[in-house]
Structure 1
Amino acid sequence: MPFVETDIIIKGDINEIYPIVKDMESYPKFMDSVKSIKVIERGENSTLTQWKTELKGKPFNWVEKDVFYDEDYKITYELTSGDLKKFEGQWTLTENPEGVKVHLTVDFEFGVPMIASLLNPIAKLIIKQNLDSMLTGIKGEVEK
């Protein structure tokens, strides 16, 4: 199962950056690949969100459960339905001498073993580029 991770340093206060990361519905405003995010269900410390994205011109859609650990500045997410068999990971924010380090991970699986060996390397690259783009979008939103 491919695992992708990336991070970025954002200048600012962790208490101002975390709410922007947590407000997933606003992502389409500053992330080109994210077409829409709709909250289907809202719990005390979680949401069920429907994502519509585009990766390299192809639609990629799913529903995920997001769990918020506000005191730790952490968000975990896990696929409940969608285009992959497995899609899960986490956002973690930590204070850093240069600002706030935002770390994003994803662990995914196609669910079709015959094509996985062919597609995994390409998918890892595309997902890494998309994660980097998401973090750059958040950085731009915070530092503007």
Structure 2
Amino acid sequence: MRTPAIQLSVRAAVAAALAWWIADALHAHYAIYALIAAVLVTDLSPANSRRLALQRLAGTLVGAMVGALLLPWLDIRAIALGVAILAAMLLAFALRLENAGARVAGYVAAIVMLAHGDDAWQYAFDRAWETIVGIGVALLVGLVPLWMRERRTK
């Protein structure tokens, strides 16, 4: 196994475990979203982690808002979910998010509509702060210098 693969895996595992622990300690309803965010934004390059973090956060905020806004007007059926995903992704692209951020916006909008129709705004708020915890931990773990350099073979 190559050194970068080992280092990325260790960083993602540490960031995810810490993010889940912190979110759980803060009484998150779904600490798994902190864990997911930490894994998805972890990268060996701190600059790339920051780029991924911004896309993840922006996509989460757009998707949560769109899902909560559309829920009162759309029944939760396949067509309504498709409309919510379409609206969230188009808004994300209009805000100049990258593909990754737009995809996050789409699935978060659907999750908000599916998961908690009784209190969509609270659910959307929870997704946002839990995601911020995961992103923050991943960025902090990314500040730790790489401990191994890959050996060059001739």
TM-score under structure 1 length normalisation: 0.36
Higher relative contact order (CA 8 A, sep 6+): 2
Q: Whose strand proportion is higher, 1 or 2?
A: 1
Q: Whose helix proportion is higher, 1 or 2?
A: 2
